[in-house]
Structure 1
Amino acid sequence: MAEETQPKWEGKAIAELKGPTPHQVWPFLEDFCNLHKLLPSLDKCHRVEGAPGQPGLVRYCASASLSGGDSDPSKVKWANERLLMMDPSDKCFTYEVLDNNMGLKSYVSTIRVVPMNDGDAKMAGCMIEWSFVADPIEGWGPQDLSSYIDFCLQSMAKKIESAIQEASG
């Protein structure tokens, strides 16, 4: 008897940054092991193996705050994530979640920085796009995952905008 397969969840979140160019935003995202500096809910993010910026790089991400701020190590939410592709000229990268304790069986994501082009030359800025394909997560609905990704992306965009504003002025 064949196992019934559920369709993959797919989604995309977009954050608009008013002012910064893709060239200014990319360095914040290019450091694959820098995520804890951009996401307030993440306590740790560090390299496990591989060379920085190269496919095969594995990072470990962990958060006690996602589990209610409990300091009990058994309740920390964590994941190992592998960089699959990094393209600095196109300002994008793709990664997959490996081992984790958050119920992710298959998760692949691409993050891309693109210029905003609304025809208004005075309106500088760019967008960060975070797209994903994942197997269903037990206890979650597709909208739960989309909302979580959007929340993380908006938080990261605010942090990046603030850092760029502070550096320029």
Structure 2
Amino acid sequence: MGEEREGGTVEAEVIGATAEQVWSFLDFSLLDKVAPIMASCTIVEGSTGEPGCIRYCETKPIPSPAGGDPIVMRVKERLLAIDHALKTFSYEVTENNIGARGYIGNVKVYGKDEGGGCRIEWSFSAESFGVSTPEAVGQFLQVLLQGIVQSIEQASTKGGP
């Protein structure tokens, strides 16, 4: 039997942009263009945006989940699935420098029926979070997501990605 998984979900509202507009910003290879906390994000294997492609991402220095000096998180992530009609994608972490094992993330954009805007939901689970915890990963993803939302809202007032 497999190990028990832990995880969580973070979400954020986007004001002034439709789900379609927000989806256009969530390109798997361009995370560093919309997430201020990211230093770089590059496709290192496969075709951009196609399931199976792998991206390598590095954060800017961030507080260590274990305490102490700031760290630069380094991860390789494989796109598992993407559905443009449903505005969702899933990915797995294949390599990282914090000891996480079996990490899977899912990102989905939901439109609002009334009042415009939309909501981004980012769920995650892992067999082990290494030197981190599910709560710390959730806090990191919330900061990441808030940065993405701010970038999207600023860009959407200027007309696009």
Q: TM-score range by the shorter chain?
A: 0.7 to 0.9
| SS of corresponding position for 2:148 | helix
| SS of corresponding position for 1:40 | coil
**Unmatched runs of 5 consecutive residues or more in structure 1:** 69-74
Determine which of 106, 110, 119 is the counterpart of 1:127.
119
RMSD value, Cα = 2.1
> 2:109 corresponds to which residue?
113
* Alpha-carbon contact 1:67-1:77 (below 8 Å) kept: no
Pairing 1:91-110 to 2, within 5 Å after superposition: 91-110=87-106
1:9 pairs with 2:6: yes
Pairing 1:82-93 to 2, within 5 Å after superposition: 82-93=78-89
* Alpha-carbon contact 2:104-2:126 (below 8 Å) kept: yes
User: Highest CA radius of gyration, 1 or 2?
Assistant: 1
Residue 67 of structure 1 and its aligned partner are, at CA, apart by 6.5
- 4+ long deviations beyond 6 Å: none
When normalised by structure 1's length, the TM-score is 0.83
| SS of corresponding position for 2:36 | coil
* Alpha-carbon contact 1:82-1:96 (below 8 Å) kept: yes
> 1:57 corresponds to which residue?
53
**Unmatched runs of 5 consecutive residues or more in structure 2:** 65-70
* Alpha-carbon contact 2:29-2:49 (below 8 Å) kept: no
Residue 25 of structure 1 and its aligned partner are, at CA, apart by 0.7
Bigger helix share: 1
- Aligned partners of 1:138 and 1:91: how far apart in 2? 30
Pairing 1:140-155 to 2, within 5 Å after superposition: 140-155=132-147
* Alpha-carbon contact 2:37-2:147 (below 8 Å) kept: no
Q: Number of paired residues? A: 154
* Alpha-carbon contact 1:42-1:65 (below 8 Å) kept: no
Residue identity over aligned pairs, in percent, reads: 36
